Amino acid sequence: MRLIFIGPPGAGKGTQATRLAQRFQIPHISTGDMFRAAVKAGTRLGQEADRFMKQGQLVPDEVTIGMLRERIAEPDAVRGFLLDGFPRTTPQAQALEQALNADGVRLDHVLLLEVPASLIEARIIGRRSDPVTGEIYHLEFNPPPAEIVERLLHRKDDTVEACRARQVAYQRDTTPIIPFYEGRGLIRRVDGVGASDAVTARISAALA
Ligand code: AP5
Ligand code: MG
């Protein structure tokens, strides 16, 4: 199974992708998580990505495409993968298509998680993640257990300003890939509003 998750910042891609990847036993490949790991490790890639990420701007295609191509060539991704946060531009979508064509494989579904702009800020500002388990929480919508609150992280780009810039980047750079995949009959629209379990059920229905 080869899946892509598209959706605005805070739509719930990470939350839902973790569940789906477990269900299908495929790697959950998040370019955002890969960049954050590189920033933490202090590598050259991390230093370059950090400049863009903290302002809510996209990392340049040359950097992102190379990183993703290497990742999907790894052995665990040969049988399938779930991409979360890639592609986000038309050149990225074209590069992915070329890479898959060269391997003689194709995408199964592109899930478009739809959440109105009015709900996004609250989701982003209240998000906290657990560095130990990778679990994503929300102070109000998915509260963490009291005993781990101290260790939770707040993402650098989860500020009001960066969140707005990310929404602009999504509208400008990422929404053009929706017609790209619609033309290939791959888009499955899923309403991302409501409880996470209800969204998971809608995703299952969309894939059935
Ligand atoms: P990335 O990490 O991909 O961030 P994003 O797309 O902005 O999405 P988020 O991770 O913020 O949200 P999400 O949809 O995963 O939501 P989540 O499940 O966490 O990218 C970050 C940056 O990296 C980019 O800005 C860019 O700089 C760079 N980058 C990454 N990929 C790139 C690429 N391909 N090209 C160029 N640059 C790239 O949920 C959010 C919150 O809501 C959580 O608190 C969660 O608990 C809560 N929540 C989830 N579901 C629900 C629900 N149903 N109801 C209520 N709350 C919910
Ligand atoms: Mg995410």
What is the pTM for the complete model shown?
0.96
CB-based contact 198:14 (threshold 8 Å): no
Residue type, 63: V
Pocket test for ligand 1, best of 5, 28, 58, 175 (most atoms within 8 A of CB): 58
List the domains of the chain with CATH numbers.
2-27+79-207 (3.40.50.300), 28-73 (no CATH)
Cα–Cα nearest to 112, from 175, 196, 198, 55: 175
Record the tokens describing residue 72, joined without a space.
Answer: 């999907």
- pLDDT at residue 112, as a whole number: 98
Q: Is 12 in the pocket of ligand 1 (CB under 6 A)?
A: yes
Q: Is 123 in the pocket of ligand 1 (CB under 6 A)?
A: yes
- pLDDT at residue 10, as a whole number: 96
- pLDDT at residue 157, as a whole number: 95
Give the relative orientation of helices 44-53 and 31-41 as an angle to the nearest 10 degrees: 120
Q: Is 167 in the pocket of ligand 1 (CB under 6 A)?
A: no
- pLDDT at residue 132, as a whole number: 94
Q: Which residues of the chain have pLDDT under 50?
A: none
- pLDDT at residue 200, as a whole number: 98
- pLDDT at residue 179, as a whole number: 98
Q: Is 187 left (phi over 0), alpha (psi -120 to 50) or beta?
A: beta
Mind listing the pLDDT tens digit for each residue in 5-47? 999 999 999 999 999 999 999 999 999 999 999 999 999 999 9
- pLDDT at residue 137, as a whole number: 97
Which listed ligand is nearest to 5 at the C-alpha?
Answer: 1
Taking the CA of residue 155 as reference, the ligand 1 atom at the shortest distance is 11
d(CA 157, CA 169): 13
